[in-house]
């Protein structure tokens, strides 16, 4: 059943593979040299479990996907007031490299465009470029749960060609926004853009955001929930630059893209997504990255405006009611991430039982995705020589379209346990 989600991701990737629209970034030779067909897709659940497919192990440079993380670091180190004094939070509706500031405050409009990102670097306290950068690399690595590295060739090229960013930094200095030497700050910014990641790293980093600042595998707190809340807010409104409105309507997740071909998207409380596909649209977003995120959002019901309730701690209890008969009591709302968690538990434990009973009388609501996944669970259990029963007095989980679902759905736990006894030991003699 983990297999079910895996197959689904493989299918999404296959659907989008043929799309060759867009062009590689070519402002530096390293970006123009990558494989245009690469498509990596990773999904990291709130407990750190990762599904990945395609070129998910291919490293590419993080580029502007770095911006929310450096902004978070600035918030973490000097606090909101200090950051707000230098960087706004209003969508600019402009391209990422627009040479612009707010008319009145002279501060960059938000931290997701280059002007704001350069200002954010200047807010990281440090005695030298190396000192600032070390903190950045360490912070990103903590989000990803592994030590990240820098692509030195990309860094050298960024540094050699970054006239526009230089113009931005000097403009900010003239307005009194930049603390420090513009060239030193730019050096750090170019290095931060050149950090290598994979789509799986981006998924993990997004999940750390989705978990309110806790890296899921180690359980380590990287930054505070308040920092994450602010960072995700700015990602929602400004992360996709002048395509932010379209993105929020169609995909509905805080996200950030980069010209290296990466996109990171976080669904608070539930999961993180990372995509890598280097062919870009006119606005600098990965063409297939955007399309894949759209599909995931629609098909798995991930739009954050449709997820208004907690959906993580879905398994309330699990216990053996009889030898070979395990009961899983679910509660809350069953959406993609909750259903995935239930199915993965059942798959991992399925050698320990003959019958799994899902007690769903305390489930308030279930969406179409979770219903499809539960239907898949029954098929999986049958194929594994096991049985899957549901206790569903309110018919919340009626498995529409699934043949013989009536035979495995019961009104009470006792009814399901009786049926399980038959299944485990065969019907009593009087019934034979």
Interaction site with ligand GLU (CB under 6 A): 63-64, 96-97, 114, 158, 165, 193, 258-259, 284
Least distance between ligand GLU and beta carbon 85 (Å): 23
C-alpha span between 411 and 395 (Å, rounded)? 8
Q: Tell me the closest approach of the beta carbon of residue 240 to ligand GLU, in angstroms.
A: 10
Q: Which is nearer to ligand GLU, 197 or 391 (CB)?
A: 197
What are residue 267's DSSP bridge partners? 271
Q: Is 83 annotated as a binding residue?
A: no
- Euclidean distance between CA atoms 11 and 376, whole angstroms: 15
71, 140, 155, 241: the catalytic one is: 241
Q: What are the tokens at 351?
A: 């050698």
Among candidate residues 177, 259, 292, 355, the one labeled active-site is 259
Shortest distance in whole angstroms from residue 66 CB to ligand GLU = 8
Residue 328 β-bridge partners: 318, 358
158 among the known binding-site residues?
yes
Residue closer to ligand GLU by CB (options 91, 284) is: 284
C-beta closer to ligand GLU: residue 284 or 388: 284
Answer whether 301's CB lies under 8 Å from 308's CB.
no
Q: Is 197 in contact with 256 (CB distance < 8 Å)?
A: no
- Helix, strand, coil percent content, the chain, rounded in steps of 5: 45, 20, 35
Q: How far is the CB of 255 from ligand GLU (least distance, A)?
A: 13
> Do the annotations mark residue 8 as ligand-binding?
no
CA distance 186 to 165: 8
Q: 174 catalytic, yes or no? A: no
**Hey, CA dihedral for 24, 30, 36, 41, is it positive or negative?**
negative
In contact, 356 and 328? CB cutoff 8 Å? yes
Q: Please, which residues have CB within 8 angstroms of residue 89's CB and are 6 or more apart in sequence?
A: 110, 111, 230, 233, 234, 237, 238
Question: In terms of CB distance, is 139 or 189 closer to ligand GLU?
Answer: 189
- Is 313 catalytic? The answer is no
114 is in an annotated binding site: yes
**Is 257 one of the catalytic residues?**
no
d(CA 7, CA 210): 24
Quick one: 278 or 284, whose CB is closer to ligand GLU?
A: 284
User: CA separation (Å) from 377 to 87, 133, 371, 399?
Assistant: 49, 47, 10, 11
Q: Which CB atom, from 73 or from 360, has the smaller least distance to ligand GLU? A: 73
Residues 6+ positions from 84 with CB-CB distance below 8 Å: none
Look up 259 and say whether it is catalytic: yes
Contact 89, 237 (CB under 8 A): yes
Closest separation between CB of residue 172 and ligand GLU, Å? 14
Q: Give the shortest CB-193-to-ligand GLU separation in angstroms.
A: 4
Q: Is 64 a catalytic residue?
A: yes
- 189 annotated as a binding-site residue: yes
Residue nearest to ligand GLU (CB): 64
For ligand GLU, the closer CB: 116 or 258: 258
Whole-angstrom distance, CA of residue 135 vs CA of residue 129: 10
- With residue 364 as reference, give the H or E element that holds it: strand 355-366
> Which residue among 189, 275, 290, 325 is the active-site one?
189
The catalytic residue among 42, 56, 64, 157 is 64
Q: CB of 30: closest distance to ligand GLU in angstroms?
A: 11
d(CA 294, CA 144): 23
- Which residues does the annotation place in the binding site for substrate? 64, 114, 158, 165, 189, 241, 259
- Which residues does the annotation place in the binding site? 64, 114, 158, 165, 189, 241, 259
Q: Which residues are catalytic?
A: 64, 67, 189, 241, 259
């Amino acid at each position: 059943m983990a297999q079910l989600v895996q197959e689904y991701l493989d299918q999404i990737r296959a659907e989008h593979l043929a799309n060759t629209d867009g062009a590689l970034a070519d402002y530096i030779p390293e970006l123009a040299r990558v494989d245009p067909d690469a498509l990596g897709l990773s999904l990291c659940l709130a407990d750190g479990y990762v599904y990945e497919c395609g070129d998910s192990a291919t490293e590419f440079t993080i580029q502007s996907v770095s911006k929310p993380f450096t902004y978070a670091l600035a918030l973490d180190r000097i606090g909101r007031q200090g950051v707000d004094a230098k960087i706004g939070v209003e969508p600019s509706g402009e391209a990422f490299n627009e040479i612009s500031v707010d008319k009145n405050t002279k501060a960059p409009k938000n931290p997701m465009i280059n002007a704001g990102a350069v200002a954010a670097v200047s807010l990281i306290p440090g005695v030298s470029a190396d000192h600032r950068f070390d903190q950045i690399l360490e912070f990103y690595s903590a989000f990803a749960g592994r030590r990240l590295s820098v692509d030195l060739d990309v860094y050298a090229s960024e540094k050699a060609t970054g006239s526009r960013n230089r113009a931005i930094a000097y403009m900010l200095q003239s307005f009194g926004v930049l603390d420090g030497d513009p060239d030193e700050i730019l050096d750090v910014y170019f290095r931060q853009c050149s950090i290598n990641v994979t789509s799986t790293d981006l998924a993990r980093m997004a999940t750390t955001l989705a978990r309110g600042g806790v890296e899921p595998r180690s359980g380590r707190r990287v930054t505070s929930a308040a920092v994450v809340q602010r960072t995700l807010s700015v990602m929602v409104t400004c992360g996709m630059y002048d395509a932010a409105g379209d993105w929020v309507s169609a995909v509905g997740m805080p996200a950030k893209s980069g010209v290296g071909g990466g996109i990171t998207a976080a669904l608070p409380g539930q999961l993180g997504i990372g995509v890598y596909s280097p062919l870009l649209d006119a606005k600098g977003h990965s063409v297939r990255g955007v399309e894949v995120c759209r599909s995931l959002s629609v098909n798995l019901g991930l739009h954050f405006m449709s997820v208004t309730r907690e959906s993580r701690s879905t398994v309330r209890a699990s216990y053996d009611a009889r030898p070979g008969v395990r009961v899983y009591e679910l509660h809350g709302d069953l959406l993609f991430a909750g259903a995935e968690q239930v199915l993965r538990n059942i798959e991992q434990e399925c050698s320990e039982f003959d019958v799994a009973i899902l007690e769903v009388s305390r489930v308030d609501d279930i969406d179409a995705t979770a219903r499809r996944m539960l239907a898949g669970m029954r098929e999986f259990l049958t194929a594994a020589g096991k049985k899957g029963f549901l206790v569903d007095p309110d018919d919340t989980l009626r498995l529409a379209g699934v043949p013989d679902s009536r035979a495995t759905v019961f009104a009470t736990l006792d009814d399901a346990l009786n049926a399980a006894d038959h299944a485990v030991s065969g019907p009593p003699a009087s019934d034979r």
